[in-house]
Amino acid sequence: MKSRRKFLQHISAGVIPIAFGFTPESLLFNPDNSQNDKTLRVALMGLGSYANRVADAMKDSKRAKVVGVISGTPSKIPEWQKRFDIPDKNCYNYENFDAIKDNKDIDAVYIITPNAQHHNQCLRVAAAGKHVICEKPMAINAKEGREMVEACEKAGVKLLIGYRMHFEANTLEIVKMRNAGEFGDIKFFQGLSGFKIGDPNQWRLDPKLAGGGALMDIGIYAVNGTRYMVGEEPIWVTAQETKTDASKFREGVDETITFQLGFESGVVASCLSTYNMNNLDKFFLNGSKGFAEMQPSTGYGPIRSATHKGRLDMPHTTHQTTQMDEMAKIIFDNKVPIIPVDGKEGLKDIIILDAIYEAVRTGSKVDLNLT
């Protein structure tokens, strides 16, 4: 029996990919139904290198603005105040940020801290009644992810995950082509994600802060990319780990994992996650009528892409600028993104990460149920 994805692919060029959580309205029309120009006022939590990248990108945002900071290193705050004209009343530390509950100048908190801190910080932000934007991976395991989703639902606030690629032009064009049946029946996907990591003392190599190693940090791009490129949820996973430097990649920190995902339709995906190789960052999607490839596929850009019809290489805009404008529309205008970025979307990736680690540990195929 053909899968729902195959059935939908054969309907017409106006296919509706319900199977991956897309709605007809978002796919066929995806209107920019901005009801107003209300600005999303954001406090950044964690003032490291990526927070600086996000903040600088937001200078060009039309619907989002940095108005506050939350840091575990108070000495960083004055420089941020000067750069972004942030008043003292919008500055907090990790002990007192619950007080944002009474701050009417802050709409959302963007959590950009080590992975193991996301869960508790998300729960506290939700309890304060502020929308949560959380970097990926949203949590270090599915149990924590579920609790984050539940806490935000209970508080009546939105939980969005920092999936910047879900708004990237090349990515969206390939998804559109796939949904229109231009690649035919999808048969295979390859996702390669990794780099050679440097400083051995950084938090990414501390299992208590990172919750893992390369898979949590960079491999999640291949996991998430598999799902939005194939347009279907996997039903099983197998995985193998390779470690060449046990002193740098200690117990609980994976260096290199290869993993395979299977889908009900018969699609298979072969992926690599590593902290020990450069020149990766590649996606390849193959179908019965054509293909799409991206390299780089998830870097900060420009993204380079091509299909069997020729090069795409859509115009580049700073990913974080687009992400924050689109998230403002999701929060204020109830805009439905073509590829979801909500907490339930993030939870699916964490469930897969848990299953990959289990497959490594047991050497067995692990079944998945993401529906």
pLDDT in tens, 154-188: 999 999 999 999 999 999 999 999 999 999 999 99
**pLDDT top residue among 284 and 31:** 284
* Same domain membership, residue 242 and residue 188: yes
Confidence band, pLDDT 50/70/90 cuts, at residue 32: low
Tell me whether residue 32 is in a domain: no
* Same domain membership, residue 255 and residue 208: yes
Among 161, 180, 210, where does a domain finish? Answer: 161
The confidence score (pLDDT) of residue 1 equals 41
Q: Compute φ and ψ for 293, nearest 5 degrees.
A: -140, 150
Confidence band, pLDDT 50/70/90 cuts, at residue 35: low
> What SS3 state is found at 164?
helix
The CATH number that applies at residue 77 is: 3.40.50.720
> DSSP string covering 232-284, please?
S-EEEEEEEEE-S-TTTS-TT--SEEEEEEEETTS-EEEEEEESS--S--EEE
Rounded mean pLDDT of 78-106?
A: 98
Tell me whether residue 329 is in a domain: no
CB 230 within 8 A of CB 330: no
Alpha carbon distances (Å) from 73 to 50, 69, 91: 15, 11, 12
* Same domain membership, residue 268 and residue 191: yes
The confidence score (pLDDT) of residue 2 equals 42
The confidence score (pLDDT) of residue 371 equals 79
* Same domain membership, residue 354 and residue 218: yes
Tell me whether residue 30 is in a domain: no
Rounded mean pLDDT of 348-359?
A: 98
* Same domain membership, residue 296 and residue 181: yes
* Same domain membership, residue 298 and residue 182: yes
Tell me whether residue 322 is in a domain: no
* Same domain membership, residue 154 and residue 265: no
CA 332, 337, 341, 343 torsion: positive or negative? positive
Tell me whether residue 218 is in a domain: yes
The confidence score (pLDDT) of residue 198 equals 94
CB 289 within 8 A of CB 186: no
Tell me whether residue 333 is in a domain: no
The CATH number that applies at residue 233 is: 3.30.360.10
Among 111, 140, 161, where does a domain finish? Answer: 161
Q: What is the pLDDT of residues 135-158, one digit of tens each?
A: 999 999 999 999 999 999 999 999
* Same domain membership, residue 256 and residue 143: no
The confidence score (pLDDT) of residue 178 equals 98
The confidence score (pLDDT) of residue 11 equals 36
* Same domain membership, residue 350 and residue 283: yes
Beginning with the edge strand found earlier in the chain, give each strand of the sheet holding 268-274 in spatial order: 310-311, 305-307, 291-294, 282-287, 186-194, 268-274, 256-263, 234-242, 366-367
Among 126, 161, 196, where does a domain finish? Answer: 161
According to DSSP, the β-strands at 305-307 and 159-161 are: unpaired
What is the domain extent for residue 192? 4-21+168-313+341-367
* Same domain membership, residue 245 and residue 363: yes
pLDDT at 31 over 80: no
* Same domain membership, residue 352 and residue 301: yes
Tell me whether residue 35 is in a domain: no
Total domains in the fold of the chain:
2
pLDDT at 15 over 90: no
Give me the chain's average pLDDT, please. 92
pLDDT at 297 over 70: yes
pLDDT at 359 over 70: yes
* Same domain membership, residue 83 and residue 190: no
CA atoms of 275 and 195, how far apart (whole Å): 5
